Amino acid sequence: MGEGITSFLPFILMFVVVYFFMIAPQMKRQKQEKKFALELKRGDKVITKSGMHGKIVELNETDSSCVIETLAGKIKFDKSAISMEMSKKLNKIEK
């Protein structure tokens, strides 16, 4: 019985390492991004993941989208297209 458990020990240790170094940080990041998207409000300056800068002028909760005003005009984006990291950096620089 003891030999069976010891033969699986390397696999168990490998799973634990993968969980703590890959899966857990990814889940934490997803929670942060979801919280960031829920906290968006009109007037927030944001940057999309494609690099477009703008200010939120309208939020639509039914389809999880927002309208961003840029120098070129207003464009509708999905909230998931807004970059959390770049938007936070942009707002830190301006303050």
The tens-digit pLDDT sequence of the chain (95 residues) is 557 778 888 899 999 999 999 999 999 999 999 999 889 999 999 999 999 999 999 999 899 899 999 999 999 999 999 999 999 888 887 65
Beta strands in 1-95 (DSSP E): 45-47, 53-60, 65-70, 73-78
Whole-number pLDDT of residue 90: 85
Whole-number pLDDT of residue 27: 94
Q: CA 93, CA 73: separation in Å to the nearest integer?
A: 24
User: Letter for the amino acid at 80?
Assistant: S
Q: CA 54, CA 69: separation in Å to the nearest integer?
A: 5
Statement to judge: residues 58 and 34 lie in one domain? no
Could you tell me which residues are beta bridge partners of residue 92?
none
Whole-number pLDDT of residue 81: 92
Whole-number pLDDT of residue 66: 94
Statement to judge: residues 28 and 47 lie in one domain? no
Domain count, the chain: 2
Statement to judge: residues 35 and 52 lie in one domain? no
Statement to judge: residues 21 and 52 lie in one domain? no
Range of the domain at 74: 41-95
Statement to judge: residues 50 and 84 lie in one domain? yes
- The angle subtended at Cα 86 by Cα 22 and Cα 62, nearest 5°, is 85
Whole-model pTM: value is 0.73
Statement to judge: residues 34 and 48 lie in one domain? no
Whole-number pLDDT of residue 94: 67
